[in-house]
Structure 1
Amino acid sequence: MILLSFDIEEFDMPFEYGKDISFDDQIQMSITGSHAILDILQKHQVKATFFSTATFAINAPEIIERIKREGHELASHTYYHSNFEVPHLKESKEKLEELSGMTVTGFRMPRMMPVDEKEVAKAGYVYNSSINPTYLPGRYNNLHISRTYYTKDNVLQIPASVSPLVRFPLFWLSFHNLPLGLYSRIAKWTYKKDKYLNIYFHPWEFTDLDDFERFGFPGYVRKNTGVKMENRLDQFISNMKKSNLPFGTFQEFIKDIV
């Protein structure tokens, strides 16, 4: 099963590059991108998982309603995107369930940062997808962690997909920067080996990020964003479906493997 997931959040990434962006703009850009994602998924009749911060959900009720109405899964991306405290684990789950009327069983930390699995379990989550099992200088050093799903402290861990052997990460930056044909071949190779694929994106990638003065992003971040990203995801889904590879939510995947 291909697990497409989207981290829907306050678009605060410009702060990492010394740029300012208003809260209203952060929310609106993620709303715009989320609608673009949902339109593509609806076109292909594909279901996905949306990891939402409680803050985004509070400020984007129309997106949460679309996620529910169109049959996708809602999971937690904690309460705030750039401010984490342990109580936010339970608080975000409860707020998302209150706002959506959906059952929230999954969790992902912003920026795939470490989190105490015992606390994740205590907050009531079934699974956690907060690990990128690769090495990226200054970000991840997880070569010692399993590439594929496993259980820790009674929580099912579902790492982001990396290729066999060299552990090449198949996350959003790779999707932007590799030729789409090459990315698709690596994805199929990984799927054949692991019997599933877990790849994730963000709604702001589906907006135009080319304005360097506004966002400060280097070329490898802003490459193939906006309409180009919409087209790439559309083509990728079409390619995978032509190979008869199924798509599903994390909750559906867990039912298959348990």
Structure 2
Amino acid sequence: MVLLSFDIEEFDMPFEYGKDISFTDQIAISRTGTIAILDLLDKHQVIATFFCTVTFAENIPDLIERITRSGHELASHGYYHSDFKPEHLLQSKLKLEELSGKEITGYRMARMMPVDEQEIEKAGYTYNTSINPTYLPGRYNNFNISRTYFTKDNVLQIPASVSPMIRFPLFWLSFHNLPLGIYKSLASWTYKKDKYLNIYFHPWEFTYLDDFERFGFPGYVRKNTGNKMIQRMNNLIEWMKSKNYPFGTFQEFIKAIKK
């Protein structure tokens, strides 16, 4: 099963590169990208999981309704994207349930940072997918963590997909920078080994990010964004469907592995 997911959030990433961006623009850019994603998923009749912050959800009620009406899963990405307190785990779950009318069972920490699994369980989540089980300088050093799903403190942990053996990450940044053929080869290798893929992206990737003065992003971040990203994602989904890879939400995946 392909677990295609999107971390939809207020677009605060320019702050990491010393650039200011208004809250209005943060919401507008992520909104534009989320619509592009939903249009692509509708085109291919594919379902996915949307990890959403409460801050973003409160500003896009029509898109939250569209996500749930289309059969996608809504999960928590925290209350805010750039601020975290343990109490936000439960607060974000309850608020997203109020806004969507759906049960929220999954959590992904902003920027895939560590989160206390005991706090995840206390907040009532079934699963956590906040682990990138690879090594990235200055960000992750998770070679000691299982590549594939496991249970810890009564919570199912579903790490992001990395390739067998060398643990090459298949996350959004790899998708932008690798030739598409190489990315597909790594994805195919991983799928054959693990019987599933857990790959994630963001709405702002589907918008124009080449304005260095405005966003401050280095070339490896802004490469293949906007229309190029839409075309690449369209190509990836078509390829996966040609391989007969089924798509599903995290909730569906959990039901399948528990059978």
Structure-2 separation of matches of 1:96 and 1:48:
17
Matching residue's letter, 1:40 = L
CA drift of 1:181 comes to 1.1
What pairs with 1:236-255 in structure 2 (closer than 5 Å)? 236-255=236-255
Q: d(CA) in 1 for partners of 2:55 and 2:237?
A: 29
What residue number does 2:38 align with? 38
Identical aligned pairs, as a percentage? 76
Counting only pairs closer than 5 Å after superposition, residues 66-77 of structure 1 correspond to structure 2 as 66-77=66-77
Residue 178 of structure 2 aligns with an amino acid whose one-letter code is L
Where do 1:180-195 residues align within 5 Å?
Answer: 180-195=180-195
Instruction: Indicate the residue corresponding to 1:209 in structure 2.
Output: 209
Distance of 2:124 and 2:140 partners within structure 1? 26
Q: Match of 1:162?
A: 162
In the other structure, the counterpart of 2:2 is 2
Deviation at 1:62, TM superposition (A): 1.4
Aligned to 1:227: 227
How far does residue 136 in structure 1 lie from its aligned partner after superposition?
0.3
Structure 1 Cα separation of the partners of residues 191 and 63 of structure 2: 30
The Cα offsets for residues 144-182 of structure 1, whole Å up to 9 and x where unpaired, read as 000000000000000000000000000000000001111
Distance 2:24 2:63 in 1: 15
Residue 27 of structure 1 is matched in structure 2 by: 27
C-alpha distance in 2 between matches for 1:35 and 1:213: 25
Q: CA RMSD in A?
A: 0.4
Alignment gaps of 5+ in structure 2: none
Partner residue, 1:82: 82
SS in 2 for 1:3: strand
State how far apart, in whole Å, the 2-side matches of 1:136 and 1:207 are.
25
The TM-score normalised by the length of structure 2 is 0.99
Q: For residues 145 and 12 of structure 2, what CA distance do their matches in structure 1 show?
A: 29
Counterpart residue number, 1:152? 152
Q: Which residue of 1 aligns with 2:47?
A: 47
1:249 Cα shift? 0.4
- Tell me, in whole angstroms, the C-alpha distance in 1 between the residues paired with 2:115 and 2:186: 29
Query: How far, CA to CA, are the matches of 2:66 and 2:176 in structure 1?
Result: 26
Q: What amino acid sits opposite 1:14 in the alignment?
A: P
Residue identity opposite 1:235 in structure 2: N
Deviation at residue 185 of structure 1 after TM alignment: 1.0
- Distance in 2 (CA, whole Å) between partners of 1:63 and 1:22 is 21
Residues in 1 aligned to 2:35 and 2:100: alpha-carbon distance in whole angstroms: 17
What is the rounded CA distance, in whole Å, between the counterparts of 1:161 and 1:233 in structure 2?
17
Aligned equivalents of 1:57 and 1:155: distance in 2?
25
Deviation (angstroms), 1:203? 0.2
Per-residue deviation at 1:63?
Answer: 1.3
Paired residue secondary structure (1:231): helix
Q: C-alpha separation between the residues in 1 aligned to 2:62 and 2:140?
A: 34
Give the drift of 1:58.
Answer: 0.4
User: Residues of 1 paired with 2:149 and 2:178: CA distance?
Assistant: 25
